[in-house]
């Protein structure tokens, strides 16, 4: 996205007839929040004078210390490419500060900035390219979401079986008007499932773009009478939606993962980065897959990356190295889903990889076999463990991993864990339809 100066934003807002500006930030569970201001208050917002009640936001502050400050990142200014009855609306993503002028350590954007600064101190810049999958469902007569798909398409299918094509095309057009460079858009495996990929960029910019992408997708879908959801597994028996995440470290403008003389043309930096990812995979999963529903996707049988290993080509591995080399050398971390908070997810992934580099953690040998076709005994012989099978297991793994805990920080970690435990406990005590269908008439 473009780099803006304060006066340029004021000028563009007037030229584009902007009436309202949404000052956006994100809570710890990945929900985008915003304070909307009229154009008359934009100058004050750009000067960082907007305050809000942090005690009302999940995981932020206590009632006795609730005054918090929003400071817009000017580079995130964008005008939404649709009209409202009350005029054009623009957006600025904000950093959250305490009332005393210090950065708020519970701000997920700050958590990522801190991890990025650690990488920069080692001479690295992290680039990230996500593959965001989602479902388009019909709405009922009241506008509420259903789980009825609007097509019977499959992987890469084209209209007329892919009736979401028009909506997907309009999502792409809206994103491009907002400064995205979309690389691909296509139907995914399940009916009603889609994927849109946009160009990789530095970790912070990409996290901002993921939040923008999800919002734009939902808005445009509603214009087509559809509901877009990034829920990882909305329908039993169908493939779930993930957010495969491509990662590369650059140093002095060069791809630090590429070494033409090394095995697989992967540098020691790349190998140790992979080693760190695999070593911390169970704990990282709590953050990259933070909902009860995430673990309905991470099950064998649906091409889900549940086995902790890596491969230079094999798509059944959790960590895959795509074929591109040179500047395109990268690793693909395949477990995340889009229910995650992207700032926190990229922070813990980066921290795990950097730990591998600093400690020279060598990964096991790459697995070339199709792991999906291996028995439990064969996986055990190969030393291939599995990711946590539930949110509770993932949170327990997180609690035992000092590196990933440190990535979240002293403020955010306990509050994130508490939110996960509350969700797990609420889920655990429910009586679900499956149980009624299974037991009610026979017990």
Q: Looking at 71, 168, 244, 297, which residue is catalytic?
A: 244
Using DSSP's 3-state secondary structure scheme, residue 44 falls into helix
Structural tokens at position 244: 């495969």
Q: Looking at 22, 227, 246, 334, which residue is catalytic?
A: 334
Is 58 known to be catalytic? no
Q: Other C-beta atoms within 10 Å of 180: how many? A: 20
Is 16 known to be catalytic? no
Q: Looking at 27, 71, 107, 131, which residue is catalytic?
A: 131
Using DSSP's 3-state secondary structure scheme, residue 179 falls into coil
d(CA 257, CA 264): 11
**298 DSSP assignment:** S
Q: Looking at 22, 91, 109, 133, which residue is catalytic?
A: 133
Q: Looking at 6, 114, 315, 325, which residue is catalytic?
A: 315
Is 118 known to be catalytic? no
Q: Looking at 208, 332, 337, 401, which residue is catalytic?
A: 332
CA within 13 Å, CB half, 213: 29
Nearest-CA neighbor of 416 among 95, 111, 29, 25?
Answer: 29
d(CA 432, CA 181): 43
Is 423 known to be catalytic? no
Structural tokens at position 320: 């895959």
Q: Looking at 8, 36, 47, 53, which residue is catalytic?
A: 53
Is 73 known to be catalytic? no
Q: Measured at the alpha carbon of residue 28, what is the angle toward residues 357 and 305, in degrees to the nearest 5?
A: 50
Structural tokens at position 340: 């995650």
Spatial neighbors of 370 by CB under 8 A, at least 6 apart, are 314, 316
Q: Looking at 27, 162, 188, 259, which residue is catalytic?
A: 188
Nearest-CA neighbor of 393 among 357, 421, 354, 435?
Answer: 421
End-to-end CA distance of the chain: 60
The residue assigned the tokens 């992987």 is: 155
Using DSSP's 3-state secondary structure scheme, residue 318 falls into coil
Is 105 known to be catalytic? no
Is 15 known to be catalytic? no
Is 332 known to be catalytic? yes
Is 402 known to be catalytic? no
Q: Kindly list the catalytic residues.
A: 53, 131, 133, 188, 195, 244, 315, 332, 334
């Amino acid at each position: 996205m473009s780099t803006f100066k304060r006066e340029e934003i004021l000028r563009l807002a007037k030229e584009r007839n902007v009436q309202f500006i949404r000052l956006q930030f994100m809570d710890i569970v990945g929900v985008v929040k915003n304070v909307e201001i009229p154009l008359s208050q934009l100058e004050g917002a750009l000067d960082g004078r907007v305050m809000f009640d942090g005690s009302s936001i999940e995981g932020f502050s206590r009632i006795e210390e609730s005054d918090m400050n929003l400071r817009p990142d000017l580079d995130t200014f964008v005008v939404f490419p649709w009209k409202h009855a009350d005029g054009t609306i623009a957006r600025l993503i904000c950093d959250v500060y305490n009332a005393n002028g210090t950065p708020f350590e519970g701000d997920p954007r700050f958590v990522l900035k801190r991890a990025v600064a650690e990488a920069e101190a080692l001479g690295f810049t992290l680039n990230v390219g996500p593959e965001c999958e989602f479902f388009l469902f019909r709405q009922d007569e009241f506008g509420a979401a259903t789980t009825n798909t609007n097509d019977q398409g499959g992987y890469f299918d084209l209209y007329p079986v892919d009736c979401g094509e028009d909506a997907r095309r309009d999502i792409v057009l809206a994103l491009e008007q907002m400064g995205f460079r979309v690389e691909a858009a296509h139907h995914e495996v399940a009916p009603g499932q889609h994927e849109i990929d946009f160009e990789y960029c530095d970790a912070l910019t990409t996290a901002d773009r993921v939040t923008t992408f999800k919002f734009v997708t939902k808005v445009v879908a509603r214009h087509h009478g559809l509901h877009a959801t990034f829920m990882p597994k909305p329908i039993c028996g169908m493939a779930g939606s993930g957010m495969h995440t491509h990662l590369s470290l650059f140093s002095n403008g060069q791809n630090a993962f590429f070494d033409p003389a090394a095995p697989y043309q992967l540098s020691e930096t790349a190998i140790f980065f992979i080693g760190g990812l695999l070593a911390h995979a169970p704990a990282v999963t709590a953050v990259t897959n933070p909902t009860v529903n995430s673990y309905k996707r991470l099950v064998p049988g649906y091409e889900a990356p549940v086995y902790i290993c890596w491969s230079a080509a094999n798509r059944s591995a959790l960590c895959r190295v795509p074929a591109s080399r040179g500047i395109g050398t990268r690793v693909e971390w395949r477990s995340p889903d889009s229910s995650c908070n992207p700032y926190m997810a990229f922070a813990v992934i980066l921290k795990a990889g950097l730990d591998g580099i600093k400690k020279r953690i060598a990964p096991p040998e790459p697995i070339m076999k199709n792991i999906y076709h291996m028995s439990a005994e064969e996986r055990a012989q190969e030393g291939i463990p599995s990711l946590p099978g539930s949110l509770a297991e993932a949170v327990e793994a997180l609690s035992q991993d000092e590196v990933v805990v440190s990535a979240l920080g002293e403020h955010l970690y306990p509050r994130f864990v508490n939110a996960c435990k509350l969700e797990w406990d609420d889920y655990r005590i429910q009586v679900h339809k499956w149980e009624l269908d299974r037991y009610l008439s026979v017990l």
